[in-house]
Amino acid sequence: MEFKLTPLLVGVRRVDQGIMTYQRSYGRRIWLPMWSFLAQNDQQNILIDTGLDYFVAPPEFPQETGLKALLMEDALSSVGLKAEDIDTVINTHLHDDHCGNNLLFTNATFYIQKKELESCRNPHPLDYRFEPDFIEGLNLAQLDGDMELSPGMELIFTPGHTPGSQTVRVNTPNGWYIIPGYCCNKENFPEHGPAACPGVHSDAYLAYDNAQKVKAMEGEILPLHELDVFKIS
Ligand SMILES: [Zn+2]
């Protein structure tokens, strides 16, 4: 089965490149776009990640990139949808920039790894970006490892950035796309040599190993925080 995949820009921050790539490229300021991916077929409206709940885009962002970040409800209405039309939400992980609008989706079933839910409910002091409010009262389908959600939509357990990160592989008319389960941009996937370890991690060795697993998957990678992701739409 093929899905129509549409990236929605639902947040932006200014950060250091080192937040994406461990031990590489520290000291360079970059734009960090937050994407939510809408995957649709005749029966389903699936949302992969839900972005930031609130943000103010600096005026230089649209000037420098030509992109406009929208609040989630405005982004959905730009493609003719309302929050209640979303029947399935997949959170790659539960940092605030990937689940900030979860509570809008009252008709959705949420596919989240069990280990990620446990970490979010009882976060390590270092992981201040887990926000238990964003999983309160959700209709949860808790996963324990890999799962084929439907033909053409695979969830693959790739922990390391967080204890329960999951990568999404989606089949589309243009072939398979891979949405890594962890914060990264295109510098995490150099053409030659190994993939970079994400700059933020709960287990650097595991994060590195799973970055190699993601890089080896068949399909085109859409890094979660890459500006160029808009080009697929
Ligand atoms: Zn992120």
State in Å: Cα 218 to ligand 1 middle: 23
Cα 100 to middle of ligand 1, angstroms: 11
Rounded to whole angstroms, the Cα distance separating 126 from 105 reads: 29
156 CA distance to ligand 1 middle (Å): 17
What is the C-alpha separation between 186 and 158, in angstroms, rounded? 18
pLDDT band with cut points at 50, 70 and 90 for residue 233: low
Give the model's pLDDT for residue 128: 82
- Is residue 46 within 8 A of residue 88, CB to CB? The reply is yes
Q: Could you tell me the distance, in angstroms and rounded to a whole number, from the CA of residue 80 to the centre of ligand 1?
A: 26
pLDDT score for 129? 86
Number of structural domains (the chain) is 1
pTM of the model: 0.96
Give me the residues paired with residue 13 across strands. 32
The dihedrals phi and psi of 215, each to the nearest 5 degrees, come to -65, -30
Given a cut of 90, whether residue 215 has pLDDT beyond it is: yes
**pLDDT, tens digit (0-9, with 9 covering 90-100), for 77-125:** 999 999 999 999 999 999 999 999 999 999 999 999 999 999 999 999 8
Instruction: Give the Cβ contact number of residue 191 at 10 Å.
Output: 5
Identify the sign of the CA torsion 40, 160, 12, 50: positive
Q: Please check the confidence at residue 208 and state whether its pLDDT lies above 70.
A: yes
Q: Find the 225 Cα to ligand 1 centroid distance in Å.
A: 7
Domain holding 129: CATH number? 3.60.15.10
- Boundaries of domain holding 140: 4-232
Query: Does residue 231 carry a pLDDT above 90?
Result: no
